[in-house]
Structure 1
């Protein structure tokens, strides 16, 4: 695989010069600023038309700094350049290109209106544009109700979805949402989108945000995050806005909360609050400690492949939430930018869950079936703080601090009744246990980045230092009664049994210190070299003590050495590399190679003394190739190799008997994973194109993948160390296996249907997951193929009528190598409709209905149900600021929650408790108080209104027309 990777890189490198040699002959560039405050005019339309008969214009838009670039223009030719933007006077000039790179300098636009009641329209608003690496959506092209949030707005945009609190864009999870380029409530994307009203949004930008260090050097370091940047309207950047609400209903259901924001130029303060017992949850996965969650929430979900193994938002069951958040951002003088947030969350969750698992066994052995009914309750408290300070010391030096801190306190309890049986119905074992857990912990992290630019353009030095500290401790009480049966006899009478009554104390902590230095050096007008070196030191330790009940003194004083362990783990990683960056006109490329040496030292201190001392040496290539056409299309291919070290939990050789029928343990002999990733994207959008198209291919291949090895005892078996694994019980531990693949494709097409005033979005995807594993020491490969299709029709009629119709279907094919006769196909389908209609004198009708269908899951799990919610309300008070609304949830009493999870060792179907029908009366007050802009006179003599406190006073005035 390494040789194949190297060969591919050499072939691509050899092909680059030929590709780059076919470059256009001239480039035209410039900058657009506001004439009064010298702010960049973002998103202005620039057209360039050659002065010949029947010439067609080409379009671009200005970026965040007001800059624009045209490539592929003819040298020694004359062009007409025209700039236009809503509420500004058009500006145009004629230029003859005489240089390879011709800079037009700075254009200053003057506002064309004398008062706020006049409106200037410049053509039809283009819904979507491609600006370099950024996909930009113009909010004015998508009509929403006056009360709509930014979340409602973006779901009308091609390729963007919000499901169970997870935001995806063009097939990838959105990890960060910015407001005017600044963080808003840390990394909680869903919370940000719910807190901002749609009416303040001018544009939505979707892009891959490089790390601060990578943005400075220009070399992609592989740490990019899919990001949405919300660009607010200029006349909405001063004022107060938000809403507060309170409601009460049947079955003691209640909700109360709100969000209020204060914007004044660079100063922004936002406060949110929430209290309810109707499953409205706005926390992210980092708020949870020792809590197992899944998709499903109150509405039910289903999916295929291994993706359901990840925690992606709402907990299953019914959750009561009390939360409070504060976000602050400001600019102090010309040099210091500050942003930070604090978030508190208290959740109480209860759930009733039914689980059915079918395990694949090799040979002629009959498959085993495990069924479980559980009842759980948990209370989780979380405090989360995020902070960022950017200090621009001078034009050549800057410093960025990004500290973050979180505290968690979790208490949970559960009862579980489970049994294992053969296909003929004969019982193997059963368990009835009660468990309580208490866990506390904190996580602290901090990054410090220093960046320096030398006098020579392209020569830079950056130093990044990072710290990670975590600590966790907890107590678990377990009481379990276990029975074992004769599998040859169909009987409910056990042949033997045992009782477990024990208390376990867990504590773990870790410290990671790291840093890297990057130096870049230009070697030509189009080429640049990068040299990097990094060092990471990581130390963690874990201590687990399990005590059985001593009947002599009626206390937990008898140490169980088979379930106790003290373990230390240390990593030392050094990484050095060199990279080459090429950029010319529409083409750019990065090609690099890193050498990495990792030392792993692990030691078990109790109950025995065992050591692991390993060294891993790897070559890690990376390649990025990008092309941007002048018509708005973009191609990007990215390849990277990386390693992933096993965690201390995976390395710790101690058994966890939380479920006596399904034991788990670590493996101190684990090696690190070696992963190759290929990502190819193509997008098509532009001002002259009435549609948008996005396609993506993502492939990951992993050597030494850390996967599960499951041993299912066919008879009572004594494990190394003396623990007895009873007949039918399972022991799962991590091992390294080759042959892991994950591939997916995603295609999105969006187009406004002007005659019907609709927006059409179509998505198609194909996923392939090859998951290796071991069952009773026999390799098994679970191959999952999933085809997905989505269709969304959203209204663009008016701000009084907003509706959406959607369809989503997933067809899943599961094939495993051990028992091909147990291969499985299943299908999930969702059809939904939503309407929000404002009619008469402030009456509001809202209704959403969705149908979920599941086929091929298993007996009792194939279901078809419809969830229908509706409300009627009346707006009143000045400017319709008040609204009284009656809502009925689950009108048809069919709400359900189903999910399927396919792994390399079993297929699992799960149903969870859901919220049932209730009615609620809610009052909502909406605050909209935007500051007026004082009338001033700009440099062109035109009267205009400018935002108080807006602008960047430190931006220098450049030469212009």
Structure 2
């Protein structure tokens, strides 16, 4: 019943706005290059009345070259002026006669002036707010000649890069585009490392809607935080990149490079990397079998993200990788982009883990210590493809298939010990494992879009397919010791030996479709009707065989550790939405009705069935305000559901660690989430600063969390498995009361007299994590305050330095064990300098001090990692460089990490790379040329009324033809 007010609110808002009328008009157009007809992204468009005292208003073109002005008057003439670096200005008088006056396609011709002779004076505007896009001008942030795009964006306020993860304004960046086109799929870190900073004109940060949502203008909740790199006009044709090779002490080596060939619309990039010094570049789909075995890791809130997650493995990694990216335009109607990436990593790691479990009542807390050595070899092939076919001005088709193959071989040796607070032992285990896994994943989306003659009336149909398959083999040998009872620990013991081989398999197919129809009901209002159907079938099986000693063969089927499981989801979803837009205000209201049927069946070792149905109302709301002065406000609310995975549903024991068993739960229900966020930003040419403030709140009902049972004495589980004293069984359950709230503030300001950029960030996080331990609910409340400061130079290309500070203070409070409440603090202070002096000499150095306080005895650390290099540039245009680098000069490098959950606190240390010295040679390729001059007769055949690219119903990001 609590969801009924959402529906009433929606109907009320719909009735109040459905009859709104607006007499103002809108002016639109598309700006393209006159030679290759590619969109000109980030061009300035000024509109002013045809009067002497008229003050112009500005917008910039989006990633499709499109612009739009609202609030104009009919029957009035306006001057439209379009400007962009290295292009000739275009001015045109336009008389607005219709509600939506379309200027069509406007070509910009290349300027004939030599750019080297142009001297620009004055302060460059660093940041501007263009509608829903935050735009950074690269010219306002000076970097050295060898800097990458990653080096450049780290100078920009609110953007950070840590361990390969890119964050913008408090949110993880999932995609990086180059001139609006994909580059190496969704691998953001790979894109930023591959492109030199010198080709970048602007950096745009925005929430990219799905292709279907961009067309309709209604946010479907599947948007991603995206960075778009706008390249300089005089860098769109040429060859650029670098290759390097180095060798050092302890047989350390590195070799690789990237080379790009740009020629108008055609772009080819090749990358390669081989090293054994922890230079890594992979995403989560490259890590099959590395982050966990096939049967482990159930629970949590939905598992790891399958989107984009780049990060470094612990330990020491050797990497061999190769990638190819291609983008081009075929004729006037077809845009094609695709990439292939191969990654092979070999990793070794020594890890020490300490866990403290919170038990209730008078029961003493348990401690678990584990030392492990692991090694793995992981191979991955990734292919991404995108074809966009503009059939005609009213119809388009987009196809985006993705395919990946993974193989992993891993071996580990672990020694674990469980004790009480007084040090008395409860159990111990020494085990070795080998795992072999292989898998493939395939997805494909097909989106058809059609715009009717009536503005705002559209239909779109999206069909998607997902296929996945995984097979694995695991050998486990474990020697385990158990003590007689918790009442008399450390006095008597018995043991057992496990010698098993397991075969696992899982696979699934998902077919889905979504149909959307939009209809304008006034000059300010638009309705959307949507219906979606998704059918998902998945299966999972595990067969575990014990060794027959006399025969030395794995042939004794262990039915308690074997299982065959099938799962089927059928989801129907229908909804109604309303969109209101007037001047600088936009509002979306929507409500969906969703019915999900879940049917699960276990066929071995015994038959059981689960047949459930879930019915939900899913409301959504969005309100935004955008002023022409650069002020933006946006608030939104959305409800959604999350289904448990097949591994979370499969009720089979995983005994990879006999002291810590895991299992699934076939009775899991879907999660129901309410998400609220609010954003406020200030940026513009008339402000000497920029400011962003954001609030994110997520509340989850039926959250899928871990329930842990720790046996106080040998206990026989319902499936017949004996859980020895002190051993743990963890399985996922549904619990209410999960909250996650975050705030983020970012302030950036250039200090012109000192030639510095100063960026300040602040944040507050609150996480309420429910869980169960020994059937008692525990709520872990974590409060975290963060503060960051970055001071970067803006002096010259020869002297580039950055100093930064980040601090996090964490307060943890637990409901069942107040005595274990904990406060801990972590901070990092970093400094980096790149100095080119004399006749091509280069000095580089970076210092990183990390401090940890409150983590526990033996884990409070304070260490400094210092790397430095000296080099000399030579060859023509300083294309070559020879550099000597010393890593970890102070020999203090180490790794420590704390994880706080609702049931335990965990401290982990990992093996790290120690000091080495390396000599490296780098060759930089820079060969840029002007695009060919177009035939004048052909130029004259095109005018401002050209219709190419003017696709009704697709007005940039989220216009919906309205």
Shorter-chain TM-score tier: over 0.9
One of 706, 721, 724 as aligned partner of 2:722: 724
> How far apart are residue 598 of structure 1 and its match?
0.9
Partner of 1:945: none
The 3-state SS of whatever aligns with 1:121 is coil
The 3-state SS of whatever aligns with 1:153 is helix
> How far apart are residue 412 of structure 1 and its match?
0.4
> How far apart are residue 77 of structure 1 and its match?
9.1
The 3-state SS of whatever aligns with 2:753 is helix
Decide whether aligned partners of structure 1 residues 443 and 268 sit closer, same or farther in structure 2, where only a CA change above 3 A counts.
same
Partner of 2:448: 450
> How far apart are residue 954 of structure 1 and its match?
4.9
Residue correspondence of structure 1 range 149-298 to structure 2 within 5 A = 149-292=148-291
Check conservation: 2:485, 2:725, Cα contact below 8 A.
Answer: no
Decide whether aligned partners of structure 1 residues 886 and 594 sit closer, same or farther in structure 2, where only a CA change above 3 A counts.
same
Residue deviations 1:750-769, cap 9 Å, x none? 11111111111111111111
TM-score (norm 2): 0.92
Tell me the distance in 2 between the aligned counterparts of 1:850 and 1:451: 51
> How far apart are residue 125 of structure 1 and its match?
2.3
Check conservation: 1:86, 1:120, Cα contact below 8 A.
Answer: no
Residue correspondence of structure 1 range 103-502 to structure 2 within 5 A = 113-119=112-118, 121=120, 123-292=122-291, 312-486=310-484, 494-502=492-500
Partner of 2:960: none
> How far apart are residue 521 of structure 1 and its match?
1.5
Tell me the distance in 2 between the aligned counterparts of 1:67 and 1:438: 51
Tell me the distance in 1 between the aligned counterparts of 2:756 and 2:938: 41
Check conservation: 1:70, 1:630, Cα contact below 8 A.
Answer: no
Residue deviations 1:626-655, cap 9 Å, x none? 111121111111211111111111111111
Tell me the distance in 2 between the aligned counterparts of 1:622 and 1:941: 48
> How far apart are residue 447 of structure 1 and its match?
1.1
Tell me the distance in 2 between the aligned counterparts of 1:783 and 1:370: 23
> How far apart are residue 118 of structure 1 and its match?
2.5
TM-score (norm 1): 0.92
Of the structure 1 ranges 355-364 and 519-528, higher mean CA displacement relative to structure 2 is found in: 519-528
Superposition CA RMSD, Å: 3.0
Residue deviations 1:253-287, cap 9 Å, x none? 00000111111111111111100000000111111
Partner of 1:733: 731
> How far apart are residue 26 of structure 1 and its match?
6.8
> How far apart are residue 39 of structure 1 and its match?
5.8
Tell me the distance in 2 between the aligned counterparts of 1:109 and 1:957: 19
Tell me the distance in 2 between the aligned counterparts of 1:956 and 1:655: 58
Residue deviations 1:464-511, cap 9 Å, x none? 111111111111111111112256688766421111111111111111
Partner of 2:889: 891
> How far apart are residue 452 of structure 1 and its match?
1.5
Residue deviations 1:418-445, cap 9 Å, x none? 1111111111111111111111111111
Partner of 1:624: 622
Check conservation: 1:759, 1:796, Cα contact below 8 A.
Answer: yes
Residue correspondence of structure 1 range 346-745 to structure 2 within 5 A = 346-486=344-484, 494-745=492-743
Decide whether aligned partners of structure 1 residues 307 and 234 sit closer, same or farther in structure 2, where only a CA change above 3 A counts.
farther
The 3-state SS of whatever aligns with 1:2 is coil
Check conservation: 2:711, 2:723, Cα contact below 8 A.
Answer: yes
Residue deviations 1:274-305, cap 9 Å, x none? 000000001111111121189xxxxxxxxxx9
Decide whether aligned partners of structure 1 residues 309 and 914 sit closer, same or farther in structure 2, where only a CA change above 3 A counts.
farther
The 3-state SS of whatever aligns with 1:893 is coil
Partner of 1:900: 898
Decide whether aligned partners of structure 1 residues 160 and 472 sit closer, same or farther in structure 2, where only a CA change above 3 A counts.
same
Decide whether aligned partners of structure 1 residues 751 and 90 sit closer, same or farther in structure 2, where only a CA change above 3 A counts.
same
Tell me the distance in 1 between the aligned counterparts of 2:528 and 2:27: 28
Partner of 2:958: none
Q: Does 1:791 align with 2:794?
A: no
Decide whether aligned partners of structure 1 residues 917 and 16 sit closer, same or farther in structure 2, where only a CA change above 3 A counts.
farther
Residue deviations 1:31-72, cap 9 Å, x none? 656667766544333456789999876543333455544556
Alignment length (residue pairs)? 938
Residue correspondence of structure 1 range 800-815 to structure 2 within 5 A = 800-815=798-813
Tell me the distance in 2 between the aligned counterparts of 1:108 and 1:717: 77
Tell me the distance in 1 between the aligned counterparts of 2:17 and 2:862: 57
Tell me the distance in 2 between the aligned counterparts of 1:934 and 1:327: 24
Check conservation: 1:110, 1:938, Cα contact below 8 A.
Answer: no
Tell me the distance in 1 between the aligned counterparts of 2:325 and 2:617: 43
Check conservation: 1:31, 1:106, Cα contact below 8 A.
Answer: yes
Decide whether aligned partners of structure 1 residues 335 and 895 sit closer, same or farther in structure 2, where only a CA change above 3 A counts.
same
Decide whether aligned partners of structure 1 residues 955 and 920 sit closer, same or farther in structure 2, where only a CA change above 3 A counts.
same
> How far apart are residue 216 of structure 1 and its match?
1.3
Tell me the distance in 1 between the aligned counterparts of 2:669 and 2:332: 50
> How far apart are residue 529 of structure 1 and its match?
1.3
Check conservation: 1:35, 1:939, Cα contact below 8 A.
Answer: no
Decide whether aligned partners of structure 1 residues 862 and 321 sit closer, same or farther in structure 2, where only a CA change above 3 A counts.
same
Structure 2 regions of 5+ residues with no counterpart?
294-299, 941-945, 953-962
> How far apart are residue 591 of structure 1 and its match?
1.1
Structure 1 regions of 5+ residues with no counterpart?
295-304, 943-951
Partner of 1:925: 923
> How far apart are residue 513 of structure 1 and its match?
1.0
One of 821, 833, 836 as aligned partner of 1:835: 833
Tell me the distance in 1 between the aligned counterparts of 2:202 and 2:325: 21
Decide whether aligned partners of structure 1 residues 464 and 77 sit closer, same or farther in structure 2, where only a CA change above 3 A counts.
closer
> How far apart are residue 715 of structure 1 and its match?
0.8
The 3-state SS of whatever aligns with 2:288 is coil
Decide whether aligned partners of structure 1 residues 547 and 30 sit closer, same or farther in structure 2, where only a CA change above 3 A counts.
closer
Residue deviations 1:632-687, cap 9 Å, x none? 11111121111111111111111100000000001111111111111211111122
Check conservation: 1:179, 1:229, Cα contact below 8 A.
Answer: yes
Partner of 1:946: none
Check conservation: 1:293, 1:316, Cα contact below 8 A.
Answer: no
Partner of 2:943: none
The 3-state SS of whatever aligns with 2:117 is coil
The 3-state SS of whatever aligns with 1:689 is coil
Tell me the distance in 1 between the aligned counterparts of 2:754 and 2:806: 22
The 3-state SS of whatever aligns with 2:566 is strand
Of the structure 1 ranges 472-481 and 114-123, higher mean CA displacement relative to structure 2 is found in: 114-123
Decide whether aligned partners of structure 1 residues 4 and 921 sit closer, same or farther in structure 2, where only a CA change above 3 A counts.
farther
Decide whether aligned partners of structure 1 residues 59 and 24 sit closer, same or farther in structure 2, where only a CA change above 3 A counts.
farther
Partner of 1:2: 2
Tell me the distance in 1 between the aligned counterparts of 2:825 and 2:16: 44
Tell me the distance in 1 between the aligned counterparts of 2:390 and 2:500: 57
The 3-state SS of whatever aligns with 2:574 is strand
Residue deviations 1:758-790, cap 9 Å, x none? 111111111111111111000110111111111
The 3-state SS of whatever aligns with 1:13 is helix
Tell me the distance in 1 between the aligned counterparts of 2:438 and 2:33: 53
Residue deviations 1:544-575, cap 9 Å, x none? 11111112311111111110111111111111
Partner of 2:872: 874
Tell me the distance in 2 between the aligned counterparts of 1:627 and 1:560: 63
Partner of 2:13: 13
